[in-house]
Amino acid sequence: MIDFLWKLCGRDDYEGFDPTKSTAAARARNFAQVGNLPVVLIEGDRTQDTIRQRAFDFDDLKPLYNGKGMRATGVKSNNNETYEPPFRGSIVIAQNADVGGSPALLERIVHIHTDKSAQTPQTRQAAERLERATTEQVSGFILKVTQAETAVLDVFNRIYEQAKTELENHPEINHNRIAKNHAQLIAMVETLTLVLPVQADAVFQTRQTLVALAAERRQALRTDPPQVQEFWETFEYLDSLDRYGLNHAGKDNREGMVAVNFQHFIQMASEYRVNQSFVISDLKKQLKGGTGFQFTGNKAVRSLPNELYSKGKGQHDVMRPEIVRCWVFKRNELQHS
């Protein structure tokens, strides 16, 4: 689908770039290359945990939402001049896993999930037709849209205001940024009839789907992603099994503090033969935006489990360290009451 959409814009044999395999300078140049066109981020090999992959964080994209640059560089001159090109496009993130990040990032995203559950011989044939289409056959779309600029913008502005008001007043949405993003897509769908022979029923169904997606996105911000929920269920299970516990702030901490050392977690999961479907490097990004357990920082913690373990040990016994580097969380009592 992404290949076909690029063909509509006159670009052939291109899908996007993998930000985890790019340097900060390369990413900044990719974002500054185009205007009024998307920058597509594609998924790379998620099994490799390299320094470059850990260096990229989707939260770095937040300034682009308001058209600001991603990276500033110094200009070779005798003053303090810097160069920070503005971002004038849009972003498409194409990957299998959900995007993890802070709530501020997640509310900027319109999430569209696709799978093969509704695939039929007819849809397969339609997909094959799109695949066979050449750039020469379909690249006139962008020209046709540009020529109809005035009519397209008039309809877009009118529909956008209506849709935004509708979504803001929707009882399951009622969120300004989510309403704004999904209203923009609704308005764009409505303008397709000005340049393409799109059936009214298809436009209506797509509009209803976008309203449902907005409600789903609002609900997703209220709850933790499935991987985060699985992690905390596993953590609490292992914490109850182990004599000294996994919470380095102490079992049943009265202040609701939870200190997690991931190496200790992995070790205990292996000892108790508990399987995990999540990848720790991906999980860490999602934990920062968790709602059930709010992330407060990466800190050095005086470990109560290690202190209990080391009590009564002789000088020749293996002692656990008193100070452990942990991710520290605050339990949300409202969600655990």
pLDDT at residue number 50: 52
- How far apart are alpha carbons 206 and 156 in whole angstroms? 16
Segments making up each domain of the chain, as ranges: 1-128, 148-222, 226-331
Residues 6+ apart with CB under 8 A from 94: 2, 15, 16, 40, 41, 42, 43
CA distance 22 to 102: 22
DSSP state, residue 17? B
pTM for this entry: 0.77
pLDDT at 17: 93
Range list of H helices, 9-49? 24-32
pLDDT score recorded for residue 317 = 72
DSSP label at residue 197: -
Which pLDDT score, from 0 to 100, does residue 222 have?
85
Coil, strand or helix: which one is 144? helix
Query: Do 41 and 48 contact (CB within 8 A), yes or no?
Result: no
How far, in Å, CA of 197 to CA of 331, rounded? 53
Confidence (pLDDT) at 334:
55
Mean per-residue pLDDT pooled into runs of 10, the chain (337 residues): 93 91 90 92 65 71 91 87 92 87 88 87 93 94 95 97 96 95 98 95 97 94 87 94 90 88 94 87 85 92 90 75 94 64
pLDDT at 156: 98
